[in-house]
Amino acid sequence: MDVWYQFEMRWWRGIVVSVGVGVVLSGCSPRPSTLDKQVEVFADLPLTCAEIDPAATGALRLFGRGLSRHAEGLTGEPRSHDRLGQSLRCLQTFEDPIPEGADLPTTGAMRRSVVIEVQRSTFPHRPWETTTTIAPDGRSSDVIDRAQLPGVGQDSTTWFTRGREGDMSAHTKTRIDNLTIGITTSGADWHDSSLTARDSPELRADLRTGADAIAREMAATLPARLPRVTTGAFELLPTPAVEPTLRVSTPTITAWDPCALAGPIAVGAGLPGDRTDVAGIETRGCFWSTSWGFVQVRSRAMDFEQSIYRSEYSGAPKPVTFATRTAIQVEYPSDSHERCTHAFDTPFGTTEGRLVGVVTIEAHVVRGASRQRACDLLTPLSAGLTPHLPSSR
């Protein structure tokens, strides 16, 4: 048994003994005491995120707005515990980083992400006591637009925070007896033919609506799925010394090898036979020298938004289509050459509940040539290589 747990049990029992002695010594007949009261509390949490998913399916689907969802649903590490209780953290991202049509959308959602954190406290909740409103997590100076969320659980609070890059997140925290449900939502919207992932009144409203709806659904459905026990109001709930063993493999995501294009495929697309291989695990590359510069095909185990839309490109990205496959064309400035890039969404695996994987085909031309020249040279090369790239989501 945990040393802290033994100490806390002795502390609570010491209170009970002291109060009892005080009653005897006072010569008064003992009155009914809250020390004898029994309360019903939650005894256990689900072991995995797969067991949490059904409790939030409806609200998650609405929050995702029809964006693509990873087939596994909510993902995360198995349940953990310490002397304060148990916890389970689950994640899910909905996104479509490659739009349909010849232009980027002017409005609408590109990505919606959610983090669900469920905690079961070792300390029973005593409903007859006056309790304070749930406080937001983190520093009070970081909390924006805090408000109560009536009708959700026994107590709910909602608020916003802003990330280091300006991204807005909405939070909702709900308590039901010794169970706490925390929801964090974030996202990115298309805006005026470009991407904004920072903040807007529309995005902020959507994130709060999503967080509140997920919390509301989970508060209504999750408690019925959890076992409950009756215990003394001043008794600490036992925490298992050892959690059930559950192996969760987190394999390293291996990026696709661009040099698989070398040989007849590359020659057929208009590239020379010789190439240079840059080996790696999460980033791999293949280079071809040409009379006007060089071509590079790179493969990275990164999410598309971070890799492309948050990079330092020049000019607005735009969709380009090769047969039935759409890529994003991005132009980059450089001190020594001009570069034009076609970026393809090619998931290789999942990280933190989000599909990751990007393949780029890049044309680099010597300084003095125009950036449009780089794009003109790149287009027929991409058309020839596209059928041989990894599939998209």
Task: Encode pLDDT of 84-107 as tens digits.
Answer: 889 999 999 999 999 877 787 878
Q: What is the CATH number of the domain that holds 295?
A: 3.40.1000
Does 340 lie in the same domain as 207?
Answer: no
Residue pair 42/177 in contact (Cβ under 8 Å)? The answer is: yes
Indicate whether 68 belongs to any domain.
yes
Partner residues linked to 85 by β-bridges: 82, 121
What's the N-to-C CA distance of the chain in angstroms? Answer: 48
Predicted pLDDT of residue 191: 77
CA 386, distance to chain mean position in Å, is 30
Q: How many domains does the chain have?
A: 2
The Cα–Cα gap between 59 and 185 comes to 12
Helix axes 201-221, 57-64, angle to 10 degrees: 170
The Cα–Cα gap between 381 and 376 comes to 10
Indicate whether 244 belongs to any domain.
no
| Per-chain mean pLDDT for the chain | 83
Does 161 lie in the same domain as 67?
Answer: yes
Indicate whether 19 belongs to any domain.
no
Token pair for residue 10? 């002795």
Does 264 lie in the same domain as 210?
Answer: no
Indicate whether 323 belongs to any domain.
yes
Token pair for residue 297? 């095909």
Measured CA to CA in angstroms, residue 159 lies from 133, 174, 178, 212 at distances of 13, 12, 22, 10
Does 287 lie in the same domain as 172?
Answer: no
Indicate whether 207 belongs to any domain.
yes
Partner residues linked to 158 by β-bridges: 147, 172
- In 228-353 the beta strands, taken as DSSP E runs, fall at 228-232, 276-278, 283-289, 293-300, 318-322, 325-332, 337-351
Does 323 lie in the same domain as 180?
Answer: no
Token pair for residue 393? 């989501």
Residue pair 168/206 in contact (Cβ under 8 Å)? The answer is: no
Does 270 lie in the same domain as 183?
Answer: no
The closest alpha carbon to 320, from 268, 375, 265, belongs to: 375
Does 224 lie in the same domain as 79?
Answer: yes
Measured CA to CA in angstroms, residue 174 lies from 68, 77, 84, 383 at distances of 28, 22, 18, 52
The Cα–Cα gap between 304 and 197 comes to 13
Residue pair 23/32 in contact (Cβ under 8 Å)? The answer is: no
Least confident of 6-15, 63-72, 315-324: 6-15
Task: Residue count of the chain, please give it.
Answer: 393
The closest alpha carbon to 353, from 105, 116, 18, 33, belongs to: 116
The CA-based diameter of the chain, rounded to the nearest angstrom, is 104
Between residues 266 and 84, the one the model is more confident about: 266
The domain of 223 spans 37-126+134-232
Between residues 366 and 204, the one the model is more confident about: 204
Indicate whether 139 belongs to any domain.
yes
> Per 3-state DSSP, what percentage of the chain is helix, strand, and coil (rounded to 5)?
25, 35, 40
CA angle, 46 then 238 then 19, to 5°: 140
Strand 318-322 with 179-191, pairing: unpaired
pLDDT tens for 296-349 read: 999 999 999 988 887 777 667 889 999 889 999 988 766 567 889 999 999 998
The Cα–Cα gap between 265 and 388 comes to 8
Last residue of a domain, one of 232, 249, 266: 232
Residue 109 has pLDDT above 70, yes or no: yes
Indicate whether 178 belongs to any domain.
yes
Entry pTM: 0.82
Residue pair 120/178 in contact (Cβ under 8 Å)? The answer is: yes
Residue 193 has pLDDT above 70, yes or no: no
Predicted pLDDT of residue 231: 82
The closest alpha carbon to 372, from 309, 329, 336, belongs to: 329
Measured CA to CA in angstroms, residue 362 lies from 190, 265, 344, 379 at distances of 25, 16, 11, 10
Predicted pLDDT of residue 123: 79
The Cα–Cα gap between 271 and 292 comes to 12
Last residue of a domain, one of 197, 232, 267: 232
Q: If pLDDT is split at 50, 70 and 90, which confidence band does 18 have? A: very low
Residues 6+ positions from 42 with CB-CB distance below 8 Å:
120, 176, 177, 178, 179, 223, 226, 227, 228
Does 113 lie in the same domain as 64?
Answer: yes
Does 313 lie in the same domain as 213?
Answer: no
Indicate whether 237 belongs to any domain.
no
Between residues 288 and 164, the one the model is more confident about: 288
Token pair for residue 199? 């903040």
The Cα–Cα gap between 357 and 344 comes to 9
Does 218 lie in the same domain as 265?
Answer: no
Does 272 lie in the same domain as 157?
Answer: no
Last residue of a domain, one of 232, 266, 282: 232
pLDDT tens for 124-175 read: 766 666 555 787 887 888 899 999 999 999 999 999 999 887 889 999 999 9
Q: If pLDDT is split at 50, 70 and 90, which confidence band does 239 have? A: low
What backbone phi and psi angles, to 5 degrees, belong to 364? Answer: -115, 120
What DSSP element (H or E) covers 62? helix 57-64
Does 271 lie in the same domain as 196?
Answer: no
CA angle, 356 then 361 then 365, to 5°: 140
Residue with tokens 């044309």: 363
Least confident of 1-15, 200-214, 268-282, 343-357: 1-15
